[in-house]
Amino acid sequence: MSQPLIFVHLVKTAGNSLGQWLYSHLRSGEHLWVQNAAATRTVLVPGQGPINGLKLVWGHMPVGLHGVLVGSPRYLTIVRDPLERVLSEYEYTQVSKAPDDTVVAQIRGADLSRWFDEAWYGSLEPGTATWQWGRAHNHMTRMLAAGPLLEQYGPITERVPGVRLAEPGCLPRLTMLDYERAIANLQRFFWIGRFEQLQQDAEVLATRLGWKSEPLPWLNRRSRQRQVVDLDADLHRRIAEGNQWDLRLYRWVVEHADRINGRAPGGTCDWKDHES
């Protein structure tokens, strides 16, 4: 594999299943998991990190790693119906015991309405927020709208002392320009999976990579306690309004993913020459 893969793992899209499937086709030392963009900047520094020889980098990080990887990388991601993704994220926060989920702990036990209003959170460093911001609010668009360098899509916003970690005011609001940038980036992706037909899309990916098609290992599956159809009209409206750009992006993917995934091998855009 001469062109490394960059898997932008959007949360609650079955990314662990695809990531483990990708790992199974590679040898030790050929793949790297990166938790978030802050970790990326310390691990994948040109000339300092383990970037030579990598065939896959996977993590909760935005578009941007093509600026530091050797070769012309190929981007992968999975999208999911935004309302279903938000509900899955809510249920995850109610059971998660991850030690770094400091903000999750603040809103664990909240009902869905309160959680949605306060869930402008992500993995945090002291005094800063990282790219996992807003996992309940246009998360997919935020991650996919980033630019060729990790710092270019806005600064890491400083927290004001005394402000609650879940304060909505510290999260930049998205605009049409962000949505358009996300779509422009997606058009240069090597593969876009859809949660709702992931096994089918994974078989297309395997064919394009020259790998044997095998069933995905479905991980982190839980029985859903709540469905979108169970939401009252007001809460359904608020979640939809809070994810308006993700809803538009998801509809675009549904319409265009087959075309993008059907490109001939090697026919993707050269990210090294891409400035959006």
Domain CATH code at residue 207: 3.40.50
Mean pLDDT computed over 191-213: 94
Q: Is the pLDDT of residue 217 over 80?
A: yes
Mean pLDDT computed over 187-193: 95
pLDDT at 135: 79
Q: Which of 1-5, 150-154, 179-183 has the highest mean pLDDT?
A: 179-183
Mean pLDDT computed over 250-256: 97
In a domain? residue 276: no
Q: Is the pLDDT of residue 240 over 90?
A: yes
Task: Give how many domains the chain has, as a whole number.
Answer: 1
Neighbours of 197 (CB within 10 A): 11
Strand-pair category, 191-194 with 74-79: parallel
Q: Is the pLDDT of residue 171 over 70?
A: no
Backbone angles phi, psi at 68, to 5 degrees: -125, -15
pLDDT at 137: 85
Tell me 217's DSSP state: -
Q: Is the pTM of this model over 0.95?
A: no
Q: Is the pLDDT of residue 195 over 80?
A: yes
Q: Is the pLDDT of residue 143 over 50?
A: yes
In a domain? residue 271: no
pLDDT at 172: 62
- pLDDT for 100-120, tens place per residue? 454 555 556 678 887 787 665
Q: How far is CA 102 from CA 51, 137, 187, in A?
A: 30, 18, 35
Q: Is the pLDDT of residue 4 over 80?
A: yes
In a domain? residue 205: yes
Q: Which of 203-217, 231-245, 248-262 has the highest mean pLDDT?
A: 248-262
Strand-pair category, 124-125 with 128-129: antiparallel
Judge whether 208 and 261 are in contact, CB under 8 Å. yes
pLDDT at 155: 33
pLDDT at 223: 57
Q: Is the pLDDT of residue 9 over 90?
A: yes
Q: Is the pLDDT of residue 83 over 80?
A: yes
Higher pLDDT, 143 or 47: 143
In a domain? residue 19: yes
Mean pLDDT computed over 22-45: 74
The tokens of 254 are what? 């549904």
In a domain? residue 155: yes
In a domain? residue 137: yes
Q: Which of 34-48, 126-140, 216-230 has the highest mean pLDDT?
A: 216-230
In a domain? residue 89: yes
Task: Give the whole-number percent of the chain exceeding pLDDT 90.
Answer: 36
Q: Is the pLDDT of residue 152 over 50?
A: no
Q: Is the pLDDT of residue 275 over 80?
A: no
Higher pLDDT, 90 or 211: 211
In a domain? residue 275: no
Q: Is the pLDDT of residue 48 over 80?
A: no
| pLDDT class of 271 with cuts at 50, 70, 90 | low
Which residue range is the domain that position 210 belongs to? 5-265
User: Residue 192: helix, strand or coil by DSSP?
Assistant: strand
